[in-house]
Amino acid sequence: MYYTLLMLDKQVELVNNMEGLTKDTWETMQKMHDLRLGYRTPAIQSAESNYYSVLTQKTDLLRQIRETENSLSLLIGDQAHSIARGKLDNQSLPSNFSTGVGIQLLNNRADVHAAEMNLAQCFYGVETARSKFYPSITISGTGAFTNSGGAGIVNPGKWLLSAVGSLTQPIFQNGRIIAGLKVAKMQYEQAYNTWQNTVLKAGSEVSNALVLYNYSDEKSKIEQKRIEVLEKNV
């Protein structure tokens, strides 16, 4: 994609030169027509149309550059931004060369919302796995101790001593509880990476949509001028 940007920059450079040439041609023909040196009105209008056609090409290239920058930003795990680069003429190319919205609004997208919910689920999964390391005891207002099943504990001190001793059991039981916590943490990290990538991708797509809208609006205005010029030739 980096070399694609360089090639697009080169095309813009060529189009800029063409823009100057077509504009000079149009203005020269207009002056010669005013001096009665033989250029007819349809020929002048055709030259003007060619000039606006070049402007349209330039607009398309600028849009492609912005979209490519957004895609490259996504690949490097960053938000959409301009990419610093050199010039194509200064590069040694390989012989075989293969060819303003608030971020909070991204939560309205179904893909971002789903990734967020999955991340939350994995977070609570970690907390659930961690809770298995500790005994579940409830102390009532009367000072009574009950276990998770609701049964009263006659000797709380003895029960707590037994519970604390049982914390070492995972080490001798193939580390099932410890392994469960590790798995939950890994799932959370995977969910976080997925969520982060989804948000960046969504931001890139929204940015591309905004770029397309802005440049399409500019292009439509230029095309309208072309139509007006061509209509004069009919």
**Per-residue pLDDT at 139:** 47
Tens-digit pLDDT profile for residues 162-217 = 554 454 454 444 456 666 667 777 777 777 777 777 777 777 776 766 676 677 66
Asked if residue 188 lies in contact with residue 126, where contact means CB atoms within 8 angstroms, the answer is yes
Q: How many CB atoms lie within 10 A of CB 60?
A: 14
- Residue 140: pLDDT band by 50, 70, 90 thresholds? very low
Sketch the domain layout of the chain as residue ranges: 2-90+202-233, 108-193
Query: What contacts 129, CB < 8 A, 6 or more positions away?
Result: 177, 180, 181, 183, 184, 185
Phi, psi of 138 (to 5 degrees): -120, 130
Helix (H, G, I), strand (E, B) or coil at 69: helix
Tell me the C-alpha distance between 200 and 186, whole Å. 21
C-alpha to C-alpha distance for 21 and 61, rounded to whole angstroms: 18
In the predicted model, is pLDDT for residue 61 greater than 80?
yes
Higher pLDDT, 23 or 97: 23
Q: Cβ contacts of residue 25 below 8 Å, gap of 6+?
A: 47, 50, 51
**CB distance 204 to 73 below 8 Å:** yes
Phi, psi angle pair for 147, to nearest 5°: -90, -175
pLDDT value at position 77? 72
Answer whether 203's CB lies under 8 Å from 145's CB. Answer: no
Its pTM stands at 0.47
Residue 118 has pLDDT above 70, yes or no: yes
For the chain, what is the radius of gyration of the CA atoms? 34
